[in-house]
């Protein structure tokens, strides 16, 4: 498999002018052909409404705007869409991406769009998909993830961002089918072999370390990276924050299925810098026994933070959370998917220390 180019360009702030310049440079260095007069679908990472933590959780609106400006010059028809975990309208508004979508094109909320069924007999976890018609009908898909750690898959970048192409509550239900790191990683690759973006660009200006993708801490990185290949982009981005890409199961599986390679050609910098992120609790170096003990730690609620909104209970795929009025997790039913921790707007759910 040929080495794909991955560009890395420094970008110290979210000032629109700086981001505009950096995005264009990252595309050019990666030899990405900018679409002309095409239907282009931009897929950011819009998880939910997380107030002041939004910058470290969601793809920055400045990057989305920079991409839109480039596409508009080339007379492209622009669609921007995702399927956030929490209320979609509220999430897109909070991310400020709603405004950009209205300014340059159209906002698509996957679960509100017409869906098209796809069957994939080669998929390992899910053979039947329902994807948004607008997404499938696009000439070009631009995948715009955020650089973060992830409590289940360790790292979230280009491959993981495509999980958001699964509309609405289906995502939570799928966690029942794919409740382990391996199964979820296989599922991500199942999605990837059906939705293969032509352009991938990651927001690494401010990322999230620790208990990502939503309950960690913001981390300044100062780079934007781009590639035609989602796999190559993930290889380089995960390495940048201190992971061995061969230990990220989604990347490993994608390479195994010949959808990408661990080899790449870095452009923009001579050497890839290392900006070590604090890792989530599933650490490679732990023995299986200790890892299992970590995974069995109960999920507790911080009653000072919890606003009793019930979102965790409504979104729990295993119906394991009862409100009393604070959430209580039934350990027997819980499948450890961590959706509840991911979607809680107050970050009130934590694993017991
Ligand atoms: S833990 Fe979070 S999601 Fe659950 S009820 Fe409390 S605030 Fe809402
Ligand atoms: S309680 Fe939380 S971790 Fe357990 S199944 Fe429900 S959403 Fe997943």
Using the atom order of ligand 1, give the atom closest to the CA of residue 311: 3
Q: How many angstroms does the Cα of residue 316 sit away from the middle of ligand 2? A: 5
Which residue among 48, 86, 327 is best mutated to probe the pocket of ligand 1, counting the most ligand atoms within 8 A of its Cβ?
327
- The alpha carbon of residue 43 and the mean position of all alpha carbons in its chain are separated, in whole angstroms, by 10
What CATH number is given to the structural domain containing 341? 3.30.70.20
Number of domains in the chain: 2
Tell me the DSSP string of 29-69. Answer: HTTPPPPSS-EEEEEE------GGGHHHHS--HHHHHHHHH
Q: For residue 292, is pLDDT > 70?
A: no
Q: What is the pLDDT of residues 116-173, one digit of tens each?
A: 999 999 999 999 999 999 999 999 999 999 999 998 999 999 999 999 999 987 887 7
Q: Measured from the CB, is residue 339 less than 6 Å from ligand 2?
A: yes
Q: How many angstroms does the Cα of residue 73 sit away from the middle of ligand 2? A: 45
Q: What is the pTM of this model?
A: 0.86
Average pLDDT over residues 66-89: 94
If you ran DSSP here, which 8-state letter would residue 75 be given? T
Q: What is the pLDDT of residues 293-323, one digit of tens each?
A: 656 778 999 999 999 999 999 988 889 999 9
Q: Measured from the CB, is residue 335 less than 6 Å from ligand 2?
A: yes
15 is a domain residue: yes
For residue 17, count CB atoms less than 10 angstroms from its CB and return exposed for 0-12, middle for 13-18, buried for 19 or more. Answer: exposed
Q: What is the pLDDT of residues 279-288, one digit of tens each?
A: 987 644 455 6
Neighbours of 292 (CB within 10 A): 10
* Contact present, 248 and 256 (Cβ < 8 Å): no
For the chain, what percent of residues have pLDDT higher than 90? Answer: 76
Using the atom order of ligand 2, give the atom closest to the CA of residue 319: 6
Q: What is the pLDDT of residues 15-46, one digit of tens each?
A: 999 999 999 999 999 999 999 999 999 999 99
274 is a domain residue: no
Q: Are residues 216 and 309 in the same domain?
A: no
95 is a domain residue: yes
Q: Return the pLDDT at 289.
A: 61
149 is a domain residue: yes
Q: How many angstroms does the Cα of residue 111 sit away from the middle of ligand 1? A: 23
**Structure token digits, residue 126:** 């899910």
Q: Are residues 226 and 308 in the same domain?
A: no
DSSP, collapsed to helix, strand or coil, labels residue 154 as strand
Q: Are residues 172 and 299 in the same domain?
A: no
Domain region containing 315: 288-351
Average pLDDT over residues 228-241: 98
Q: Return the pLDDT at 283.
A: 45
Q: Are residues 113 and 215 in the same domain?
A: yes
Q: Measured from the CB, is residue 171 less than 6 Å from ligand 2?
A: no
Q: For residue 6, which phi and psi values (nearest 5 degrees)?
A: -130, 120
Q: Measured from the CB, is residue 178 less than 6 Å from ligand 2?
A: no
216 is a domain residue: yes
84 is a domain residue: yes
Q: Measured from the CB, is residue 152 less than 6 Å from ligand 2?
A: no
What CATH number is given to the structural domain containing 15? 3.40.50.11440
């Amino acid at each position: 498999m040929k080495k794909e180019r991955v560009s890395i360009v420094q970008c110290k702030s979210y000032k629109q002018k700086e981001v505009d310049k950096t995005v264009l440079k990252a595309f050019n260095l990666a030899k990405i052909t900018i679409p002309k007069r095409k239907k282009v679908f931009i897929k950011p990472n819009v998880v939910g409404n997380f107030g002041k933590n939004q910058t470290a959780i969601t793809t920055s609106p400045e990057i989305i705007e920079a991409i839109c400006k480039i596409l508009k010059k080339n007379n492209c028809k622009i669609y921007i869409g995702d399927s956030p975990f929490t209320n979609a309208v509220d999430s897109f508004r909070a991310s400020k991406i709603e405004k950009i979508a209205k300014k340059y094109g159209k906002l698509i909320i996957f679960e509100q769009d017409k869906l098209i069924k796809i069957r994939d007999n080669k998929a390992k976890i899910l053979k039947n998909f329902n994807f948004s018609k607008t997404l499938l009908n696009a000439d070009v898909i631009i995948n715009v993830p955020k650089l973060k750690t992830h409590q289940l898959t360790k790292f979230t970048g280009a491959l993981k961002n495509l999980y958001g192409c699964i509309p609405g509550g289906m995502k939570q239900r799928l966690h029942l089918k794919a409740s382990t790191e391996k199964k979820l990683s296989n599922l991500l690759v199942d999605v990837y072999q059906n939705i293969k973006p032509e352009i991938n660009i990651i927001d690494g200006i401010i990322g999230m370390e620790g208990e990502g993708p939503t309950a960690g801490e913001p981390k300044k990185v100062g780079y934007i990276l781009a590639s035609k290949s989602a796999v190559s982009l993930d290889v380089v981005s995960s390495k940048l924050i201190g992971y061995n890409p061969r230990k990220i199961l989604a990347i490993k599986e994608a390479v195994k299925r010949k959808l990408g390679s661990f080899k790449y050609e870095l452009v923009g910098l001579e050497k890839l810098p290392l900006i070590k992120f604090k890792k989530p609790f599933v650490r490679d170096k732990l023995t299986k026994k200790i890892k299992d003990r970590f995974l069995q730690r109960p999920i507790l609620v911080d009653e000072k933070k919890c606003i009793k909104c019930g979102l965790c209970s409504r979104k729990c795929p295993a119906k394991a959370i009862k409100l009393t009025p604070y959430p209580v997790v039934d350990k027997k039913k819980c499948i450890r998917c961590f959706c509840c921790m991911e979607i809680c707007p107050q970050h009130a759910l934590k694993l017991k220390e």
